[in-house]
Amino acid sequence: MKKLPLSFYLREDVVTIAKELLGKVLVTNWDGALTSGRIVETEAYAGELDRASHASKGRTQRTEVMYGAGGRAYVYLCYGIHQMFNIVTSTEGEPHAILIRAVEPIAGKDIMLQRTGKKKWDPSVTSGPGRVGKAFGFHTSQCGLSLTSAELYIADDGFRIREEDIVASPRIGVDYAGAHAEWHYRFYLKDNPYVSGTRANGRRAK
């Protein structure tokens, strides 16, 4: 299993990167508590022109990390509860990011159960971005952390998915973005039980 290099994140096409992250392995290792899982759902956010993106309001204290070079974590608090893990992509000054919405666990299930307060395992433990954040131990204090660090990285373990198994759909929870809410910038693996939210209006990704 090899860490993805920074060059993977520094490309300008956030949609391509969001699709290519499917099947890759997310690894966190906070204070020796190792968890990992296969990414099965992502959402792309394409900079200031994308009204669904936090960057649509320009450079702020919260979005500052998005304006740096790709390959860093953007972790923000949603509804005062959920720690949402995003991946910053593209070059400095181009605030692209990808939200990790669902992960199929590989290692550390016991740790995930402890963090989430669940007693028995079921797919809901890591289905949805808020649940991913809790299960993998994310916190806003980790915002800006390099994705090539020992504590946080994404790796390629040789697992390959078929193009026909990638589904594209509108993003979830961005109705405020008007017409941009209809962009098919959400990608997920067909028939995977860990995928969150609705599967309606999905189509094969191009």
Can you give the CATH number for the domain in which 197 is found?
3.10.300.10
pTM: 0.94
The pLDDT value given to residue 78:
84
What average pLDDT does range 13-36 have in this prediction?
98
CA–CA distances in Å: residue 77 to residues 49, 74, 90, 155, 195: 22, 10, 23, 25, 21
22 neighbors 169 (Cβ within 8 angstroms): no
Q: Is the pLDDT of residue 72 over 90?
A: yes
The pLDDT value given to residue 126:
97
Query: What confidence tens digit (pLDDT) does each residue in 27-43 have?
Result: 999 999 999 999 999 99
Look at the chain and report how many structural domains it folds into.
1
What average pLDDT does range 116-141 have in this prediction?
96
Range of the domain at 145: 2-204
What average pLDDT does range 119-138 have in this prediction?
96
Burial class (CB in 10 A: 0-12, 13-18, 19+), 46: buried
The pLDDT value given to residue 9:
98
